Amino acid sequence: MERERICFTLNNSPVEIHCHPGERLVDVLREQLDLTGTKEGCGQGECGACTVLLDGRAVNSCLVLIGQVAERSVLTIEGLAAGGKLDPLQTAFVTEGAVQCGYCTPGMIISAKALLMEKQNPTEAEIKEAIAGNLCRCTGYIKIIKAVQTAASARLEG
Amino acid sequence: MQDQVVGSSPVKVDAKDKATGATKYPGDLRVPGMLYGKLLYSPSAHAKIIGIGLADAWQVPGVRAVLTANDVPGHNGHGVIIPHQPVMARDLVRSVNDVLVAVAAETMAAAEEALRKVKIELVELPAVFDATAAMAEGAPLVHPEGNILSHHKIRRGDMAEGWARAAAVVENTYRTQMVDHAFLQTEAALAEIDDGGILVLHVATQYPHWDRKELSRALGMPEDMIRVVGGSVGGAFGGREDMSLQVQAALLAMHTGRPVKIVCTREESFHAHSKRHAMVMHYRTGATGEGRLTAVEATIIGDTGAYASWGTNVLRKAAVHATGPYIVPNVKVDAYAVYTNNPFAGAMRGFGAAQPAVAYEGQMDEVARVLGLHPFAVRWQNAMTEGCITATGQVLESGVGLRATMEKAGSLVGWDVSKING
Ligand code: FES
Ligand code: FES
């Protein structure tokens, strides 16, 4: 496999890696960059556990090739708590009891982040739409939706 | 430290690490010198193994171990009730759960390539995929001792009297399907031998202590040489009560002297763990003109797949719950766990109590329809209260909240509960 030099922005810092441009973003993040907060649940774009932000939009990193992110910006769950301060979404997921086994949680939070970056005060329908591509086998979603609402209002008030 | 827990909502201790991505599940672990393991599952549900050719797999650069049943030093089997599910199949495969080969290699790509190079020669055998058919005379045998793993009977009262007192009898067959837990984190295990020669296995499991026993039996190694570290579990729901990758990961680590990690793909995960039992439930229910139950006769056949797992216990629970939360004076229940060549069935949320609810509640609706009564009224009349005795003779002494719950639920769906009950 031909390796190439690929530069992109990862969690607000520039990175340079050497790999085959056909490798999946999820593998590069987890195996090469040791960012294991991004999970793989299906490898087929069905479960959303691997969701990251690519230029501010939620994407399934199992369906993105590393060559596609060159010169672009990727944000993973590890990059969300800037300077160690939790994002309001992370705080709300913890306090609302939206985390059970936690395997869907990073992807869920990232999908919700993409929504809140676009809409300050989303409706319940918009929240459901935003996390429609994220499966949770534990919670039943109710507390996840509540957590997104709580985070949205915390930001509006705060 | 909070002194009042009941009535408060304490934050889950591990929630913050899960929300920041810091939590390490077994699949997230990586240690120096680690190899990647991968298992080859049987493509057939019932076949004789003629040969497994490994020479080409060994030729793949980076391959460090290619193991088969011949490399299992102890008892080649695991199982919570009967240890008959092979670590790796030797002469025969009984389901697509069966593992044929385990490889370890320097990269995942090399491990995948090696598995593609394994040459398996199988001769298909007649298979049975329907539990009722598997009970019939002449059905293909999944195990030589016969296809019926267990038969639980419940007998209460006098059935003849129950039918005699019935103004209406409804009879129906209900079927539920096989269900996969589909926990979001697929199976993953990391095995290594520490400086003291202890086998350390990191695995998402429901039973670290039981895993250790199974490992000890299959590896022929004393339990005090084995340490099972149950890390964070990405969902389980009963599907992590049986062995999946534990023994093979350990064997690969022992053979290579290197740490070995195996992570299932979603497809492999479907092969690797149990399923919810598909059940066929034949019910006959009798009631008086006012809707009082007089008799229930139920035959429940659970498809337990090719291996016992918890099948006996799951079907016992199905039998115990066959009459639901209702008072039935005369009861005859027969529940069977039956082997087929389907993927094995085991524990899953409810453990056999979930499926009969489809049947006994369906029967309640049918009784109501036939008698022209409100379905709520029929259930209300028969609802268990404190002091009631279940079909298995258990006296419900306290904490029976059924009627209070029904009242609340009924009014929430907009029924005038007191009017319905007259
Ligand atoms: S792992 Fe990418 S969507 Fe499931
Ligand atoms: S918390 Fe387990 S999958 Fe969502």
User: Looking at chain B from residue 186 to 205, which residues have their Cβ under 8 Å from any Cβ of chain A?
Assistant: 186
State whether B184 and A135 contact (CB < 8 Å). Answer: yes
Shortest Cα distance, chain B CAs vs residue A25, angstroms: 16
Residue range of the domain that includes B81: 29-125+181-272
Residue B360: φ, ψ to 5°: -70, -30
Task: Based on the fold, state whether residues B259 and B381 are members of the same structural domain.
Answer: no
| pLDDT for the residue B329 | 98
The alpha carbon torsion through A92, A97, A98, A99 (nearest 10 deg) reads 110
Going from the N-terminus, what domains does chain A have, and what CATH number goes with each? Answer: 4-79 (3.10.20.30), 82-157 (1.10.150.120)
Could you read off the pLDDT of B250-288 as tens digits, one per residue?
Answer: 999 999 999 999 999 999 999 999 999 999 999 999 999
- Name the nearest CA neighbour of A45 among A31, A59, A28: A59
Give the C-alpha separation, B268 to B211, whole Å: 20
Task: Based on the fold, state whether residues B266 and B283 are members of the same structural domain.
Answer: no
pTM: 0.95
Confidence of residue B420 (pLDDT cuts 50, 70, 90): confident
Shortest Cα distance, chain A CAs vs residue B243, angstroms: 20
Residue B367 falls inside a structural domain: yes
Ligand with minimal distance to A48 CA: 1
Residue B250: φ, ψ to 5°: -65, -45
Confidence of residue A158 (pLDDT cuts 50, 70, 90): low
Lowest mean pLDDT among A97-106, B317-326, B407-416: B407-416
Task: Based on the fold, state whether residues B37 and B167 are members of the same structural domain.
Answer: no
Residue B257's domain is classified under what CATH number? 3.90.1170.50
Q: Which of A25, A46, A137 to mutate to test the pocket of ligand 1 (most atoms within 8 A of CB)?
A: A46
Residue B20 falls inside a structural domain: no
Task: Based on the fold, state whether residues B263 and B223 are members of the same structural domain.
Answer: yes
* Residue closest by Cα to atom 3 of ligand 2: A136
For the segment B199-220, the average pLDDT, to the nearest whole number, is: 97
Shortest Cα distance, chain A CAs vs residue B232, angstroms: 8
| pLDDT for the residue B298 | 98
In DSSP notation, B181-242 reads ---SSPPEEEEEE-TTS-EEEEE--S-HHHHHHHHHHHHT--GGGEEEEE---S--TTTTSS
Residue B7 falls inside a structural domain: no
**A89: amino acid identity, one letter:** L
Shortest Cα distance, chain B CAs vs residue A5, angstroms: 21
Judged by DSSP in three states, B358 sits in helix
Provide, rounded to the nearest whole percent, the portion of chain B with pLDDT above 70.
99
Could you read off the pLDDT of B117-157 as tens digits, one per residue?
Answer: 999 999 999 999 999 999 999 999 999 999 999 999 999 99
Residue B300's domain is classified under what CATH number? 3.30.365.10
Residue of B nearest to A81 (CA): B20
A-B contacts at Cβ under 8 angstroms: 97
Task: Based on the fold, state whether residues B237 and B333 are members of the same structural domain.
Answer: no
Residue B165 pLDDT > 80: yes
Higher pLDDT, B10 or B292: B292
Residue B388 pLDDT > 70: yes
| pLDDT for the residue A1 | 58
Give the C-alpha separation, A9 to A25, whole Å: 13
Task: Based on the fold, state whether residues B316 and B395 are members of the same structural domain.
Answer: yes
Does A104 contact chain B (CB < 8 Å)?
yes
Ligand with minimal distance to A39 CA: 1
Give the C-alpha separation, B306 to B311, whole Å: 10
Does A130 contact chain B (CB < 8 Å)?
no
State whether the beta carbon of A101 lies less than 6 angstroms from ligand 2.
yes
Task: Based on the fold, state whether residues B108 and B257 are members of the same structural domain.
Answer: yes
Residue B293 pLDDT > 70: yes
Task: Based on the fold, state whether residues B63 and B73 are members of the same structural domain.
Answer: yes
User: Residue B143 has which token pair?
Assistant: 């195990």
Does A138 contact chain B (CB < 8 Å)?
yes
| pLDDT for the residue A157 | 79
Residue B11 falls inside a structural domain: no
B9 chain-A contacts, CB cut-off 8 A: 97
Mean pLDDT for all residues in chain B: 97
| pLDDT for the residue B4 | 77
Residue of B nearest to A49 (CA): B184
For the segment B61-78, the average pLDDT, to the nearest whole number, is: 98
Instruction: Give me the interface pTM, i.e. the ipTM.
Output: 0.97
Sign of CA dihedral B310, B311, B316, B317: positive
State whether the beta carbon of B289 lies less than 6 angstroms from ligand 2.
no
Residue B2 pLDDT > 60: no
Shortest Cα distance, chain B CAs vs residue A78, angstroms: 6
User: Residue B261 has which token pair?
Assistant: 């990690």
Query: In sequence order, which residues have a C-beta less than 8 Å from that of residue B224 and are 6 or more positions away?
Result: none
CA B233 to ligand 2 centroid distance, Å: 10
State whether A99 and B266 contact (CB < 8 Å). Answer: no
For the segment B82-94, the average pLDDT, to the nearest whole number, is: 98
Give the C-alpha separation, B392 to B394, whole Å: 6
Residue B19 falls inside a structural domain: no
Residue B284: φ, ψ to 5°: -130, 125
Residue B362 falls inside a structural domain: yes
State the DSSP code for A35: -
| pLDDT for the residue B15 | 97
Residue B239 pLDDT > 70: yes
Residue B14 falls inside a structural domain: no
For the segment B318-344, the average pLDDT, to the nearest whole number, is: 98
CA A93 to ligand 2 centroid distance, Å: 12
Last residue of a domain, one of B272, B295, B314: B272
Smallest Cβ–Cβ distance between A101 and the set B24, B186, B233 belongs to B233
For the segment B163-177, the average pLDDT, to the nearest whole number, is: 98
Task: Based on the fold, state whether residues B157 and B105 are members of the same structural domain.
Answer: no
Provide, rounded to the nearest whole percent, the portion of chain A with pLDDT above 90.
93
A81 chain-B contacts, CB cut-off 8 A: 20
> Can you name the residues that pair with B334 across neighbouring β-strands?
B153, B299
Does B11 contact chain A (CB < 8 Å)?
yes
CB neighbourhood size of B136 (10 A) = 10
Runs of H (alpha helix) within B229-353: 246-256, 266-272, 311-320
| pLDDT for the residue A111 | 98
Does A105 contact chain B (CB < 8 Å)?
yes
Distances in whole angstroms, Cα of residue A88 to Cα of each of A110, B86, B226, B280: 12, 49, 43, 49
Residue B230 falls inside a structural domain: yes
Residue A37 pLDDT > 90: yes
Does B23 contact chain A (CB < 8 Å)?
yes
State whether A102 and B23 contact (CB < 8 Å). Answer: yes
Task: Based on the fold, state whether residues B145 and B252 are members of the same structural domain.
Answer: no
| pLDDT for the residue A83 | 83
Does A70 contact chain B (CB < 8 Å)?
no
Task: Based on the fold, state whether residues B252 and B400 are members of the same structural domain.
Answer: no
Q: Which of B12, B23, B184 to mutate to test the pocket of ligand 2 (most atoms within 8 A of CB)?
A: B184
How many domains does one find in chain B? 2
Task: Based on the fold, state whether residues B115 and B199 are members of the same structural domain.
Answer: yes
| pLDDT for the residue B6 | 86
State whether B184 and A81 contact (CB < 8 Å). Answer: no
